[in-house]
Amino acid sequence: MEQRIQKIIAQMGVTSRRGAEELIASGRVTINGKVAELGMKADPSKDHIKVSGKLLTRREPKVYLMLNKPRGVVTSLSDPEGRPTVKDFIKGTRYRVFPVGRLDYDSEGLLLLTNDGDFANGLMHPSRKIPKTYVVKVKGMIEDERLRKLRAGVRLEDGRTLPARARFIRKSESNSWIEMTITEGRKRLVRRMVEAVGHPALKLRRISINGISLGGLKTGEVRPLTDKELQVLRKEISGGSHQEGLTDKQ
């Protein structure tokens, strides 16, 4: 059966659908020897589809992993600067997987990896507004007024943020630890939000995605998602979360 070429590439676990579109746009995908274009269709059971010269031959079993990413690791499978990447922590994985979204080089914590392009695309789609929770060490002693600003939404250079959950956890010397939950996927959003209210982030750790948490997973460790965790995430993807942000009166 014919399908759009970007969907085929995603289903075969090469990359997400968005990543597949980038591969096609760069001319690295061919169908029966001809360079593919966005929107073209193919039948993976009949057509010869190549990505960067490699033939897509079979559909691999779906793999879903959780990594507790260390700080100072690039959320990528390769890095031109030679820095450590998440690939260094999944060498025992039999099938090729890719990160679902990003986690900054200077940040740590929960990162999902998979070879299921539709699953990844569903989690990253802006319409889902899937909550992600972070523990952040910020500079200085944060006041309730600044927390209220975070909860109401902060004006940034690329637009006002949606309301977030934000609560004080504890103080550390002259700094503060807070917990924040956001529903947007903008680049370095948590860091930019706390800086906008006058408290730059010193450390940042993601602890959960849609209620799926790190638990006792140690830094640098990886494990498969449980069936229950997958069920929760798939339900969110299929049902969609169309809330306009989060409210928190704490």
Residue with tokens 């759009």: 4
> What span, in angstroms and rounded, lies between the C-alpha atoms of 35 and 29?
6
Coil, helix or strand for 97?
A: coil
Single out the catalytic residue among 43, 47, 79, 104. Answer: 104
| Selection from 20, 42, 23 nearest residue 33 by Cα | 42
Task: Tell me whether strands 3-4 and 132-138 are parallel, antiparallel or unpaired.
Answer: unpaired
Q: Are 38 and 25 contacting, i.e. CB atoms less than 8 angstroms apart?
A: yes
Catalytic annotation present for 116? no
Coil, helix or strand for 85?
A: strand
> What span, in angstroms and rounded, lies between the C-alpha atoms of 116 and 63?
7
> What span, in angstroms and rounded, lies between the C-alpha atoms of 234 and 232?
6
* Token reading at 75: 């959320």
Q: Give the gyration radius of the chain's Cα atoms.
A: 20
> What span, in angstroms and rounded, lies between the C-alpha atoms of 58 and 44?
9
Catalogue the active-site residues: 104
